[in-house]
């Protein structure tokens, strides 16, 4: 077991996946020629994915005590450790790409905010709030964006990396939708109304915290897309289309007033519209 924990000079923890990356190096010989600057941009993109996937493991870990408090079936609880393991593996896969691009898969670890416990709500309602936010919203959006990105990469090594990640993310989103579906018929009108009200905040969070992570890159060559650099403009379109065409209808079918919640969130949120030119 490794015993070395990497820290920055100021004591901040660093996510250091160099050792894990060595076992997950993809063959990038099929990539088109990239300038040093473009290769660095591609590595930055995959390093960002590496950090996000690592942090997602902590998010799923927060569901475990909530599932226990809500007396969820053990078969349901047992699925969450698998999802945690998936996210940690995804981080290592992205680290492998960073290393294959010639850079170190090392990055400052962001502040890890605990998953809200929603102590103002009974256990099942508290659990459903987080399942809605984490699985039905975040993971479903991730599935749509990753699927589009993977399609751009076709059959290359990076496409295979995203294909592997996508398969797990589909299961993570499905976990939330199946859990919601399993209890939807037993939720009374008051609880459905409270969850519908919570959706406003959940949608606002998605707009204000996830959209800024999809920067609109100007002047990118097509070759960078083949290196896995996200087309932020396309991703933002997919973000909104997924909520409006997939998430809202499914939440409505579960008895939640998601359409009204989404409309209110759009009127109250302040998304970033910054563009980044590289």
Using H for helix, E for strand and C for coil, what is the string for the chain? CCCCCCECCCCCEEEECHHHHHCCCCCCCCCCCCCHHHHHHHHHHHHHHHHHHHHHHHHHHCHHHHHHHCCCCHHHHCHHHHHHHHHHHHHHHHHHHHHHCCCCCEEECCCCCCCCCCCCCCHHHHHHHHHHHHHHHHHHHHHHHHHHHHHHHCCCHHHHHHHHHHHHHHHHHHHHHHHHHHHHHHCCHHHHHHHHHHHHHHHHHHHHHHHHHCCEEECCCHHHHHCCCCCHHHHHHHHHHHHHHHHHHHHHHCCCCHHHHHHHHHHHCCCCCCEEEC
In this predicted model, what pLDDT tens digit does every residue of 225-254 receive, in sequence order?
Answer: 788 887 888 889 999 999 999 999 999 999
Query: What is the chain's mean pLDDT, rounded?
Result: 91
Q: What confidence tens digit (pLDDT) does each residue in 174-229 have? A: 999 999 999 999 999 999 999 999 999 999 999 998 888 776 765 567 777 788 88
Report the C-alpha gap between 154 and 131 in whole angstroms.
32
Enter the tokens of residue 267. Answer: 């009127």
Give the tens place of pLDDT for each residue, 78-112. Answer: 999 999 999 999 999 999 999 999 999 999 998 88
Q: Give the percent of the chain with pLDDT over 70.
A: 93
| Per-residue confidence (pLDDT) for residue 277, from 0 to 100 | 29
The arithmetic mean of pLDDT across residues 112-136, rounded, is: 95
Does the pTM surpass 0.85? The reply is yes
Q: Looking at residue 217, what is its pLDDT?
A: 63
Residue 218 pairs in a beta bridge with: 277
Average pLDDT over residues 36-41: 90
118 pLDDT band, cuts 50/70/90, is very high
Report the chain's terminal Cα–Cα distance, integer Å: 40
Cβ burial, residue 35 (10 Å; 0-12/13-18/19+): exposed
């Amino acid at each position: 077991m490794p015993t070395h924990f990497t820290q920055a000079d100021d004591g901040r923890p660093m996510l250091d996946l160099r050792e894990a990356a060595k076992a997950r190096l993809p063959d990038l010989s099929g990539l088109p020629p990239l300038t040093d600057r473009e290769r660095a941009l591609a590595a930055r993109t995959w390093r960002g994915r590496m950090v996000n996937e690592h942090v997602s493991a902590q998010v799923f870990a927060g569901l475990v005590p909530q599932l226990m408090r809500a007396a969820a079936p053990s078969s349901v609880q047992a699925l969450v450790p698998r999802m945690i393991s998936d996210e940690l593996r995804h981080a290592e896969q992205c680290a492998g790409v960073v290393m294959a691009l010639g850079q170190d898969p090392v990055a400052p670890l962001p502040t890890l905010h605990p998953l809200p416990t929603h102590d103002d709500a009974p256990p099942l309602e508290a659990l459903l709030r987080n399942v809605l936010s984490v699985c039905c919203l975040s993971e479903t959006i991730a599935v749509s964006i990753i699927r589009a990105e993977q399609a751009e990469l076709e059959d290359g090594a990076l496409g295979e990396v995203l294909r592997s990640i996508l398969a797990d993310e589909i299961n993570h989103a499905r976990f939330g939708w199946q859990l919601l579906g399993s209890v939807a018929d037993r939720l009374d009108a008051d609880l459905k109304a409270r969850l519908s009200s919570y959706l406003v905040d959940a949608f606002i969070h998605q707009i204000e915290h996830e959209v800024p992570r999809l920067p609109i890159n100007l002047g990118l060559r097509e070759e960078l897309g083949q290196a896995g650099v996200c087309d932020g403009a396309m991703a933002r379109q997919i973000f909104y289309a997924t909520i409006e065409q997939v998430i809202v209808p499914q939440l409505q079918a579960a008895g939640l007033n998601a359409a009204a919640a989404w409309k209110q969130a759009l009127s109250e949120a302040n998304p970033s519209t910054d563009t980044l030119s590289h």
